[in-house]
Structure 1
Amino acid sequence: MSTELPYARPDGHVCAPAPPMMSLAVEHEGSVTVVSVRGEIDMSNAHLLVDLTIDLGHDPAPQVVLDFSGVRFVDLHAVRALVQARRLLQAAGGELTLRRPPRCVTRLLHLTETADLFLAEGGPRQPATLDGTAPDGATRWPAALVLPPPVPPPQGSAPHPHRVRGTLS
């Protein structure tokens, strides 16, 4: 059996381990639990958000804020985890709020049409009424801030092949 470490370099130095893909830190701000999320949320770790929510859901009427200011990447597994976490907290009489979500998060929430499920603190928002709040008192994200503008068709482009007029000889 070899005693060499698989991550040691030939010169004997040991390489530092890679930083974790995602880290979670929990703190309390009064009756609100704030979870600081950092890194990348994907299929390898999105379930950890749900697992943490299950633990936090044991409190009466849990109010959970996910601080996403340190998130650099999300995929559809993250969206699914967020929807599931929200459902679990609401079943316990609580609420889930996203704090300072980066563009990658808001864009994916809008593309999946799930942005309206979440309350937002800080970050791009969309007032739904003249006083700047949504009907339920929360603020929402504007699609214009997170979705790219539509691309107009090029000018002078060839007509669609099935719409070409003329006669066959």
Structure 2
Amino acid sequence: MSILEQPTRHRARVAKPIMTLNLDSEGPVPAIAVRGEVDMSTAHLIDELAAHVIARRPARLILDLSRVTFFSAHGISALLRTQRAAACAGVTLTLRDAAPCVSHLLAATRTRLSSTVPTARDGQVDPVGMRRAGEFSPA
């Protein structure tokens, strides 16, 4: 028996994913829940999944950012691409419970979300969040 054929006692540890996306399309409004780190290696996955959902032309799409632990400028780009795709398809995009790291970066970079992308808490529109976010014009 060679060294390569001998059984090992060590089990490989499964690495914790950097970011996970969960699509809940069971109800009348599809929702994408983002959990973990949104950075240059993961941000594109948000708008790719959102584009897949938007292609089905729901009236509204919820993007839940409550469990985001890190949010980079690449995350802002993903939100802007998603918002643009939703607007082109006539889909209302709703952000739900943006984590503090998301809100902080949006405020620090003065990224403004359009009125078609209200911040929601528990499904209710948060007018304070809308005032804080303001409006943007995607280039």
Identity %: 34
Instruction: Judge conservation of contact 2:30–2:58 (CA < 8 Å) in 1.
Output: no
Q: Does the aligned pair in 2 maintain the 1:106–1:115 contact within 8 Å?
A: no
| Residue 140 (structure 1) aligned with residue 105 (structure 2) | no
- CA apart distance, 1:62: 4.2
Which structure ranks higher in relative contact order (CA pairs < 8 Å, sequence separation ≥ 6)?
2
Larger helix percent: 2
Which residue of structure 1 lines up, in the alignment, with residue 17 of structure 2? 20
Of structures 1 and 2, the larger Rg is shown by: 1
Partner of 1:119: 118
Q: Using the alignment, how far apart are the partners of 2:55 and 2:132 within structure 1?
A: 33
CA distance in 1, matches of 2:41, 2:67: 18
Query: Where do 1:3-152 residues align within 5 Å?
Result: 3=4, 12-28=9-25, 30-117=27-114, 118-122=117-121, 127=128, 139-140=129-130, 142=132
> What SS does the corresponding residue of 1:60 show, helix, strand or coil?
coil
Displacement of 1:61 after TM fit? Answer: 4.5
1:17 Cα deviation (Å)? 1.8
Structure 2 contact 29–58 (Cα < 8 Å) conserved:
no
Separation in structure 2 between the aligned mates of residue 12 and residue 82 of structure 1, nearest angstrom? 45
Amino acid of the residue matched to residue 17 of structure 1?
V
Mapped to 1, the partners of 2:4 and 2:38 lie a distance apart of: 35
Aligned to 2:136: none
Once the two structures are TM-superposed, the CA of residue 141 in structure 1 deviates from its matched residue by 5.3
Output the TM-score relative to the length of structure 2. Answer: 0.77
Distance 2:35 2:120 in 1: 17
Q: Distance in 1 between matches of 2:26 and 2:111?
A: 27
* Structure 1 residue ranges without an equivalent (≥5): 5-10, 128-138, 144-169
